[in-house]
């Protein structure tokens, strides 16, 4: 196919999402959907059948970025778990980014336990050498009972094992956890087990989101059937406090600044841990205002 024609835009299909920290990145959709696509709380990819996008489409998107995105020095590869791509395909994409967008300083993507486990240590090192700088890893919980209930397809031990392999390959790891996903029944167990998981992982970044019930998802069905219920804001704060208290990181940044959260926090571990716990106590006492529902906009 001839790529000399004027590119007319990126070839995005369906709903696309990216981490908050990739807001100003060049977004290249290299897969459609998520290869797992079974998590009970997630409705993002329910209308997409997982597929790998053709080379020619990716080349066209890179040609568009080469012409129009010269002020953006990061690339984020979508959709849900681009690390699942075969190694030959993924290294080709990284090579093309270096060739066509030589000013790009970092490439990031989503991954899950399955996609990491499919790569050898040597393959992860190769991806690092070719420009993969950060992996966003949705663990959601460290509580095995919660992980089973939300159909995460993994266990605490496996999540830690695979996440550590990313770090040992020299790639930055950003871990996402979900406040409230255990409901009232598993709230404190979820918080403590997740803090333990984060402590053993010791990632570069942690992003805490508050679960939102998406219509049409199995979680919404469970809520309608009375099998699961959301936590009220004060209970979310208690859970957040328990999670932060149970988390010990050597250097990482803990963030709860996502739009879904009631109390935005930015915690540099270990320095800011004690102060963050004081802020949560103040919020529980009504001395620090929470983000109102209309501002959560979810």
Domains of the chain, first to last = 20-296 (3.20.20.70)
**For the chain, percent helix, then strand, then coil, each to nearest 5?**
40, 15, 45
Write out 4-27 in H/E/C secondary structure.
Answer: CCCCCCCCCCCCCCCCHHHCCCEE
Span 254-293, pLDDT tens digits: 999 888 999 999 999 999 999 999 999 999 999 999 988 7
Rounded distance between C-alpha atoms, residue 156 and residue 162, angstroms: 10
Question: Could you tell me which of 154, 144, 210 has the C-alpha nearest to residue 181?
Answer: 210
Q: What is the mean pLDDT of each run of 10 residues along the chain (298 residues)?
A: 54 91 96 94 89 96 97 96 96 98 98 96 98 98 98 97 98 98 97 98 97 95 96 96 98 92 95 97 95 71
pLDDT value for 298 = 54
pLDDT value for 227 = 94
Question: Could you tell me which of 186, 57, 199, 82 has the C-alpha nearest to residue 135?
Answer: 82
């Amino acid at each position: 196919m001839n790529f000399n024609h004027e590119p007319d835009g990126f070839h995005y299909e369906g709903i696309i999402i990216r981490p908050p920290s990739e807001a100003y990145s060049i977004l290249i959709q290299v897969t459609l959907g998520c290869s797992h696509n079974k998590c009970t709380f997630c409705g993002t990819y329910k209308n997409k059948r997982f597929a790998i996008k053709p080379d020619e489409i990716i080349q066209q998107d890179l040609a568009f970025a080469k012409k129009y995105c010269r002020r953006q020095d990061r690339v984020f590869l979508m959709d849900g778990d681009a690390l699942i791509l075969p190694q030959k395909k993924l290294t080709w994409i990284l090579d093309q980014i270096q060739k066509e967008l030589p000013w790009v300083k970092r490439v990031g993507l989503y991954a899950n336990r399955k996609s990491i486990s499919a790569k050898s240590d040597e393959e992860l090192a190769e991806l690092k050498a070719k420009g993969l700088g950060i992996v966003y890893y949705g663990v959601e919980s460290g509580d095995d009972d919660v992980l089973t209930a939300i159909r995460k397809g993994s266990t605490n031990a496996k999540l830690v094992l695979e996440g550590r392999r990313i770090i040992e390959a020299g790639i930055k790891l950003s871990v996402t956890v979900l406040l409230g996903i255990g409901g009232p029944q598993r709230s404190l167990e979820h918080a403590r087990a997740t803090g333990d998981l984060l402590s053993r992982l010791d990632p570069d970044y942690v992003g805490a989101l508050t679960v939102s019930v998406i219509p049409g998802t199995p979680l919404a069905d469970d809520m309608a059937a009375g099998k699961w219920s959301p936590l009220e804001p004060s209970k979310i704060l208690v859970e957040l406090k328990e999670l932060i208290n149970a988390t010990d990181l050597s250097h990482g940044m803990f963030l709860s600044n996502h739009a879904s959260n009631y109390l935005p926090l930015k915690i540099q571990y270990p320095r800011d841990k004690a102060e963050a716990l004081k802020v949560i106590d103040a919020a529980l006492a009504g001395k620090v205002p929470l983000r109102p529902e209309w501002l959560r906009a979810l």
